[in-house]
Structure 1
Amino acid sequence: MSTINGLPAHVLLVHVIVVLIPLTAGLLILCALWPAARARLIWPTAALAAGVTVLTPVTVFAGEWFQKQLGFPPVVDQHARLGHQMLYFVAPLLVSAALLVFAHMRQGRGKPAGRAVVAVIALIAIAAGGAAAWQTYRVGDSGAHAVWNGVLNH
């Protein structure tokens, strides 16, 4: 994917990612800690987790194309390196969502997961959500610095 309506696809997709990854992370943590929220929000949250897991490599691919079009400027290198790591941060969101779906479905069948199991899932969701949100910030910050302090100044 190279352009959308004449604009670099990466520039547009990145805005979707910057919103959806922290939203997904927050919803996962909420679902992990609050059973009433899990009952209402786990399915949309799981769909968001799957969506960002698919959209992340698409965004990275579009970024690689855009970087090539810019002539591989050195100021973009750090952003590209961090962006390539992003899938390692969104995949745990998907795993956490799957674990929460499992706990939710067991609860619905009258076989609730034990408190220790739910606590472990909550810890995984908190760690995955926090890490994904932090990495999203790092990637976005490095991209903004590359644009405002680098590419546009040349």
Structure 2
Amino acid sequence: MSLTHIDGLPAHVLFVHFVVVLVPLTALAAVVCAVQPRYARRIGLVLPLLGLVTLGLVPVTTHAGEWLESRVGDDPLVREHTELGDGLLPWAAGLFLVTLAVWWLGRRPAQSAEPAAGGASAGRARWTSPTVLRTAAVVLAVAVSAGAVVDVYRIGESGAKAAWHDNYDKSASARHR
């Protein structure tokens, strides 16, 4: 077994299934935990570990896909799929950073509601208040999660088109009805 082929078959077709499942799962977990920090506290380190595993699988899958691309011949649909696939790594990195931030915010103790004595301290306290941080985490989690899931969808659709165009009989035969 290698990172390019498993038992004589391209590893990309196996790895891609992990990415297709883990990116939306990680995105959903990040949003839920950002909206409800008690869930972030409940699942603990699992959240950023899920983000890390998802992030780690993206370059492995991309590498296996590039290996496969070099063996399927020149096809514009395959090139488009490869170019789209190269764009997933920044989304996966963002998703990992969001899971890390949401986990960290979930661990923070509630700050006291006492006003700060100094003017500069009051301004800083306002921007680091639990409400502001939680709102920022929710907005960031939703934005990054949506971007990552949409990107996975676009990549998957282009990969399906590349793999299946002109590779099946579009007319139904009498024996299959």
Which TM-score applies when normalising by structure 1?
0.91
Q: Report if aligned partners of 1:67, 1:73 keep a CA contact under 8 Å in 2.
A: no
Match of 2:100 in 1: 98
| 1:37-78 CA distance string (max 9 Å, x none) | 122124212111001111101100100000001123222011
Match of 2:126 in 1: none
5+ unaligned residues in a row in structure 2: which ranges?
A: 113-128, 169-177
| 1:6-54 CA distance string (max 9 Å, x none) | 2101011001100000000000000000122122124212111001111
1:131 to 135, 147, 159: 147
Match of 1:117 in 2: 133
User: Runs of 4 or more off by more than 4 Å in structure 1?
Assistant: 110-113
| Aligned mates of 1:13, 1:144 — CA distance in 2 | 15
SS at match of 1:69: coil
Greater Rg by CA = 2
Match of 2:6 in 1: 4
Q: Report if aligned partners of 1:3, 1:9 keep a CA contact under 8 Å in 2.
A: yes
1:73 to 57, 72, 75: 75
**Aligned residue type for 2:149:** A
| Aligned mates of 1:111, 1:100 — CA distance in 2 | 17
Q: Aligned pairs, how many?
A: 150
Match of 1:26 in 2: 28
Q: Report if aligned partners of 1:32, 1:125 keep a CA contact under 8 Å in 2.
A: yes
Deviation at 1:118, TM superposition (A): 1.0
Q: Report if aligned partners of 1:42, 1:97 keep a CA contact under 8 Å in 2.
A: no
1:144 to 160, 164, 167: 160
SS at match of 1:70: coil
Which TM-score applies when normalising by structure 2?
0.79
| Aligned mates of 1:102, 1:38 — CA distance in 2 | 9
**Aligned residue type for 2:135:** A
Match of 2:19 in 1: 17
| 1:95-147 CA distance string (max 9 Å, x none) | 1111112212222xx54851111110111011111111110100000000111
1:36 to 35, 38, 47: 38
